[in-house]
Amino acid sequence: MDTLPAWQVPAGRFVFAELDGIRTLCLKAERQGKDHVNHFLVALEPLAQRDTMGLTYLDPEQGLFPADGFSLSFSPASGEAQVGDVLETEAGLWLKLRDAASSQRLYCFVNLAEGRIKPRLERHRHQKMEWMLQRI
């Protein structure tokens, strides 16, 4: 499949992108600004350590390869959620990440179904979940 500019790829979609010269499977994410949308990638594989996961800013014109045949699976876990962990809330499944370097916040959360980024989660009840990338 040909590349598509980032602005044409829907948030929440798996894509391949070149990050630091390495072909990387990522999740496309978006943050709504006042009058624009910021595009980001969340690297999923290869991944050195989950506790370093964060947002990578994406130029809207950068080419991405949509990736089919991948899904995430989840199972309940215990303990406090750290960077790289998934939280299940009434509003869905959220991946906790380090926010972009340009942000004033340290952490953010990405909705795994929609790819939308929130600066924080309300203090709802949540369940920490283990996640695993699967090829289908």
pTM (2 d.p.): 0.89
Contact (CB, 8 A) for 62 and 5: yes
On whether both 82 and 60 belong to a single domain, the answer is: no
On whether both 11 and 39 belong to a single domain, the answer is: yes
DSSP 99: P
Give the burial string for 68-89 (b: 16+ CB within 10 Å, else e). eeeebeeeeeeeebebbbbbbb
Domain of residue 91 covers: 70-135
Q: Where are the alpha helices (DSSP H) in the chain?
A: none
Q: Which residues contact 48 (CB under 8 A, 6 or more apart)?
A: none
Number of domains comprising the chain:
2
On whether both 9 and 43 belong to a single domain, the answer is: yes
Q: What is the CA radius of gyration of the chain?
A: 14
Q: What is the pLDDT of residues 13-41, one digit of tens each?
A: 999 998 889 999 999 999 988 888 999 99
Among 35, 66, 97, the domain-final residue is 66
Give CA–CA dist 99/130, Å, rounded: 21
Q: What is the pLDDT of residues 41-94, one digit of tens each?
A: 999 998 778 888 999 999 999 999 999 999 999 999 998 889 999 999 888 999
